[in-house]
Chain A
Amino acid sequence: QKEVEQDPGPLSVPEGAIVSLNCTYSNSAFQYFMWYRQYSRKGPELLMYTYSSGNKEDGRFTAQVDKSSKYISLFIRDSQPSDSATYLCASRGTSYGKLTFGQGTILTVHP
């Protein structure tokens, strides 16, 4: 079993829809949770990170972590075609920066 599991999709939504992306993790030592966005033929770029449980909002993006259920979510409001990409969740413990990634979810937002 992978330490971070993510539904690979693909997910296709119309422009303006609310998108929900989810991951689960198994390592109780994970304390930091990140969402990266990766466009085709590019490296991942950090969207958001959260520490421990709770919510964090940044513009149209909201990240949620529920440590009791080991569940990580990213919500995208008013989705745009430019949001079409692969979204990767990642987690790490407190010791150092090694990140463990999920498989990635391919998102397409069509006009």
Chain B
Amino acid sequence: DTGVSQDPRHKITKRGQNVTFRCDPISEHNRLYWYRQTLGQGPEFLTYFQNEAQLEKSRLLSDRFSAERPKGSFSTLEIQRTEQGDSAMYLCASSLDLGRDSGANVLTFGAGSRLTVL
């Protein structure tokens, strides 16, 4: 296993178009997270999954954004009707949760998918 994979690495689109990003987590990890990072800022939490269940969504995740994790494996993040303000790096991370408060629950990040909306 080579870590968390994200595809595409860079997407350029025109305003109003839909885009979809894919994340393949580390295979034994049961949690998957999406973060967004704009230039000069730290990553901001968008949503996370425990297996196939989406357990939390940030207020940042407007109704134009939808994330899925069918069968608890890979995940997709779709942005509909893109806006210039959506331009950012979309980071996926995964972790292994062993139940209760099992320690640091370390997140491993992928390299990110950079979105440019023209």
Contact = CB atoms under 8 A, between A and B. Distances in A.
Interface of A: 4, 6, 8, 32, 34, 36, 41-46, 49, 51, 88, 90, 92, 94-104
Contacts of B55: 96
B42 A88 contact: yes
Nearest to B42: A101
B4 A43 contact: yes
B112 A98 contact: no
A95 to B, nearest CB: 8
A42 to B, nearest CB: 6
Given A43-B4, A43-B111, A101 B44 contact: yes
Nearest to A106: B40
A97 B43 contact: no
Interface of B: 4, 31, 33, 40-45, 48, 55-56, 91, 93, 95, 97, 101, 103-112, 114
A45 to B, nearest CB: 7
A32 B110 CA distance: 21
Contacts, number: 66
20 contacts: A32-B105, A34-B104, A34-B106, A36-B109, A41-B111, A41-B114, A42-B111, A43-B93, A43-B109, A44-B43, A45-B109, A90-B42, A96-B55, A97-B33, A97-B97, A97-B105, A98-B45, A98-B48, A102-B42, A104-B40
Contacts of B104: 32, 34, 49, 51
Contacts of A103: 40-42
Q: Which 8 A-B pairs have the closest CB atoms?
A: A101-B42, A43-B109, A97-B105, A49-B104, A94-B101, A43-B111, A44-B109, A104-B42
Contacts of A36: 109
A34 B103 CA distance: 12
B104 to A, nearest CB: 5
Contact of A46 (B41, B101, B106): B106
Which residue, B31, B42, B91, has most C-beta atoms of chain A within 10 A? B42
Contact of A99 (B4, B45, B97, B111): B45
A49 B48 CA distance: 21
